[in-house]
Structure 1
């Protein structure tokens, strides 16, 4: 009940924050539209990039929003007051996971509807699988954002974690250079990063009509990374920023 109450509180906060809702829903669709016109007439290139970006854009946006949101909970003293109640740190962080998971489902559904229905995205696999992986990727970004917020004292510092946590994963996920063509140590780093598996899972959906074993393995790795990040965030969460 405490977990559900926490989830409801965060959803109510989101509902009243129109700018955040607009960023969650509108930004991925605008970026996908921009990508479509960048590769106008190059359908195969757009299909490859847009499919991956359906997972990457939510990852980055959720990382930014949640790292700043949790920092505000700490700096305003809200977190300290909450933790004087029976609420546990895991209740709070998994409440964030459920609330932003629902927001991610809406985000992924809107972005995928635009991509498939209006922009002509064509994949071998089901759009439902794309949405499932995109939601998992958004929740991964949220979990890593919560973890990063524990080490920031200001909102500016929280944003500074973006090039440290998110950008290297984007560069090494295999989108720009196949992982097999990377230097050995870079490929090893890539294999340890969760975004690599999210991108590979999306590529599997793009290439195969049915869900493959590789896709399910990659999806399980992403879900496991979410749980590990949330537990690590609970272990490092401070009641208040000094």
Structure 2
């Protein structure tokens, strides 16, 4: 990768985002609205003494899953548009390399995710009184990493889609199984053995576990750092695979 070209790519993607009000609304407004719905769903649930409230447990996980899902959807469609409009074809006739392009997308959307996660976490902590034993900074950092994971997987999946409709179809194939098996609905140790094995192979599992570690421990744990390392490795692997499978044209 060329640092100068990478920086130029990041700037181009951020300028595109700045002029796309609908995408900005999707990135910034939608997670806060969904978090508000979650709060009022559980606001009246009683909390046993000495235990986390239902909202604290659910909202902590949602701070990671909302950015993951939204970023996957946005980036898979955005990259597909680059191909179908011919923009990608023109860009790749310049010194821009595939890794410059994809890592530029990842970093640019990661910056957008930082704004998204900070706003959502601010709402959760200071308006809805979310309580975690670990720091809010760690929660925001892991939420941003979750969003970048969604970006990386979205870029990878976009290489196999020919239309925006096909890009959206990857959502139930790639995203929903990870949501079902990450331990959000059923504890992983209560799953059948083969489901546990499948869960262990999915990166979102480690992202959610890292958030839960922050919620349950005042200091960062070895498990949390391991999980963060696994998710970061999955991001890099997905971006490298996306570069290897990236096609100039759709058709």
Question: Is this a same-fold pair by TM over 0.5?
Answer: yes
| 1:1-242 correspondence runs (5 A) | 1-42=4-45, 44-242=53-251
Q: Once superposed, which parts of structure 1, at least 4 consecutive aligned residues long, lie more than 6 Å away?
A: none
| Matched length | 242
TM-score normalised by length of structure 1:
0.99
Provide structure 2 residue ranges, at least 5 long, that are not aligned to the other structure: 48-52
Shift of 1:228: 0.2
Structure 1 residue 41: Cα displacement: 2.2
Between the aligned partners of 1:28 and 1:212, the Cα distance in structure 2 is 27
Quote the Cα distance in structure 2 between the aligned partners of 1:175 and 1:10: 33
2:187 and 2:37 mapped to 1: Cα distance?
Answer: 25
Gaps of 5+ in 1: none
- Partner Cα distance (1:176, 1:72) in 2: 34
Cα shift readout 1:88-146 (whole Å, capped 9, x = no counterpart): 00000000011001000000000000000001111000000000000000000000000
Distance 1:207 1:91 in 2: 38
**Counterparts of 2:239 and 2:76 in 1: how far apart (Å)?**
12
Q: CA RMSD in A?
A: 0.6
> In the aligned structure 1, how far is the partner of 2:136 from the partner of 2:229?
19
